Amino acid sequence: MRILFIGDIVGEPGRRAITNLVPKLRERHAVDAVIANGENSAGGAGITPKTAAEIFSGGVDVITTGDHIWDQKEIIPFLDGEPRLLRPLNYPPGTIGRGSQIFHLQDRPPFAVVNLQGRVFMPPVENPFLAIQPEVMRLRDQAKIIIVDMHAEATSEKIALARLLDGRVSAVFGTHTHVQTSDEQIFPGGTAFLCDAGFTGPHESVLGRQIGPVVQKFLTSMPQKFGVAQERVLLQGVVVEIDASSGRAVKVERISEPLDMTKGC
């Protein structure tokens, strides 16, 4: 089974990249399922039912999120009724929404997706290292293929989490920092790993935001409005090939696909 995992979608340019590039990437890489982190899809901060619908219509099967999941208040009542949209698993019991889900796509083996949020330099949440282990045990009874989105700031936290899960999940891919790393690998137990999948959106920017205001913030320490940039749009992520009988990854490949800005997309 081949799964395309897409790094953080930023604003309208990122959503446009999804609409235009995901169908092509599905065909080129013979992709069976697409997972994308969408927590920055609504104006660069948060996600709304409308932006989620746009991402789903572009060919994405599952949307993961992170610390910005609550930025747009209209998403809160939407979370319980949309099983394809996940929030981090390691929120306290009773938090609205779900942190994992098993998916059954037509003519494809079942696969599970788990969304986690780190704690180092991040808003306070429950310990992801403790939350994930019983959840993986539960999911493995129903699906051999398990993909984890580790939405975290610290590289050490992402790597340690993936090492903990080696041999128990198919892949751990990092999101949040918006800088694609070049450390894609398959650990000895068969778990694919990439520390950060990058981001999908405008790369003539500072992490997807307009350059000028971010520079001014660093120069003056004064508040600035960080608008979403527009130029050099890339779709970044990773394609992982998984043996469906064992759940072990057999191949992992980084991608960074440019959106053709000359065609009026």
pLDDT at 141 over 70: yes
Q: Quick check: is 10 in a domain?
A: yes
- pLDDT tens by residue, 62-102: 999 999 999 999 999 999 999 999 999 999 999 999 999 99
Q: What is the pLDDT of residue 262?
A: 73
Confidence of residue 43 (pLDDT cuts 50, 70, 90): confident
The CB density around residue 160, as the number of other CB atoms within 10 Å, is 14
pLDDT above 90 covers a percentage of the chain that reads 95
CA distance 153 to 139: 26
Question: Above 90 in pLDDT, residue 44?
Answer: no
204 contact partners, CB below 8 Å, separation of at least 6: 211, 229, 230, 231, 232
Examine residue 265 and state whether it is found in any structural domain, yes or no. no
Select from 199, 163, 143, 167 the least CA-distant residue to 6.
Answer: 199
Q: What is the CATH number of the domain that holds 185?
A: 3.60.21.10
| In-domain check, residue 174 | yes
The answer to whether the CB of 229 falls within 8 A of the CB of 204 is: yes
Residue 46 is part of which domain span? 2-259
Q: Is residue 223 part of a domain?
A: yes
* pLDDT tens-digit map of 151-161: 999 999 999 99
* Residue 13 included in any domain: yes
| Strands (E) located in 46-110 | 62-64, 100-103
Asked if the model's pLDDT at residue 190 lies above 70, the reply is: yes
- At residue 231, the pLDDT reads 95
Catalytic residue among 29, 68, 176, 178: 68
Is 68 annotated in the active site?
yes
pLDDT band at 165 (very low <50, low <70, confident <90, very high): very high
* Residue range 93-115, pLDDT digits in tens: 999 999 999 999 988 999 999 99
Contact at 8 Å (CB) between 177 and 194?
Answer: no
pLDDT category at 53 given cuts 50, 70, 90 is: very high
Examine residue 264 and state whether it is found in any structural domain, yes or no.
Answer: no
Q: Is 263's pLDDT higher than 70?
A: no
Q: What is the mean pLDDT of residues 241-252?
A: 97
Number of structural domains in the chain? 1
Q: Check whether 265 has a pLDDT greater than 90.
A: no
For residue 181, tell me if it sits in a domain: yes
In this predicted structure, what is the pLDDT of residue 97? 97
Q: Is 70 exceeded by the pLDDT of residue 124?
A: yes
Domain assignment of residue 115, yes or no: yes
